Amino acid sequence: MCIDCGCGPTDHHHDHDHKHDHAHDHGKGKKINIEEDLLAKNNRLAMNNRQLFQKKGLLVLNLVSSPGSGKTTLLETTLKDLQGELGFAVLEGDQQTSNDADRIAATGVPAHQINTGAGCHLDAHMVGHGVEHFDLDKTDVLMIENVGNLVCPASFDLGEDCKVAVLSVTEGEDKPLKYPQMFRASNLMLINKLDLMPHLRFDLEKCCNYAKRVNPEIEILELSCYTGEGLEKWYDWLRSKLAAKK
């Protein structure tokens, strides 16, 4: 069962009489207890991950977004531009296929695919085992590309330093208002695919205002992997966060 969606194999939408309502309420209490247990276990494992990452001096970023925002292309571009400067490793989360991990591996950076099956997010247990495939002593920055989903990954701490929300201009400027928990949990919002702005009715100022309304502390950067606009500011942000971690 997903913590936020609440979707499960036994969910139904029917009218109930008074007698059924009592049984349904009892089920809700059980569901809440299960969700609390799941998150508590995840948080304990996330703390273990965080202790390991701190010991290794790693900067760990959890990249979150809806499908098609351009996370993988952003990673490819970043790795190619900074590979000689920083040591990277990448965990790729998807429900199926190794397509994204294959694209990352083609850059020469160590990558490991985590397939979640029907799951809609990565959790701390998956990440803890995923990093066993890397030499963390030779790694400066661990990038975790989460499953494309703006709901469920917001609730799961992976042991990361920062959540980075990637929002494409093709998605509409109201995403921070529609999915406030994700943007409230994120430290940085990257507004991606700026090169498409002339072809869209995306209101950049409104998008930034909406994100700040949900999370006044969120940092915002605008960029395009196609033209290179804004990438250096993103790289400077990475360098500053790594320097602070070291």
Chain position carrying tokens 């970043």: 78
Judge whether residue 164 has pLDDT over 70: yes
For residue 162, is it within any domain? yes
Higher model confidence: residue 93 or residue 10?
93
Please tell me the predicted confidence (pLDDT) of residue 246: 80
Q: How far apart are CA 144 and CA 134, in angstroms?
A: 13
Token representation of residue 57? 């001096």
Residue 186 falls inside a structural domain: yes
Q: Is residue 8 part of a domain?
A: no
Q: Output the DSSP codes for 108-136.
A: TS-EEEEE-TT-SS--HHHHHHHGGGS-G
The band of 35, judged by pLDDT with boundaries at 50, 70 and 90, is low
| Rounded Cα gap, residues 30 and 35, in angstroms | 9
Q: Has residue 133 got a pLDDT over 80?
A: yes
More confident of the two residues 5 and 72: 72
**Count: domains in the chain:** 1
Instruction: Confirm whether 157 is domain-assigned.
Output: yes
pLDDT of 12 reads 33
* Structure confidence at residue 23 as a pLDDT band (50, 70, 90): very low
* Residue 153 belongs to a domain: yes
Residue for token digits 């970023």?
61
Q: Domain with 212 in it: what CATH number? A: 3.40.50.300
Q: Indicate if the pLDDT at residue 160 is higher than 90.
A: yes
Residue 11 lies in a domain: no
Tokens of 96: 């199926």
Number of residues in the chain:
246
Q: Are 229 and 195 in contact (CB under 8 A)?
A: yes
181 falls within a domain: yes
Eight-class DSSP state of 161:
S
- By the 8 A CB rule, do 208 and 181 touch? no
Q: What is d(CA 116, CA 193) in angstroms, rounded to the nearest whole number?
A: 27
Phi, psi of 59 (to 5 degrees): -90, 125
Q: Is 7 within the bounds of a domain?
A: no
Domain extent, residue 193, equals 18-245
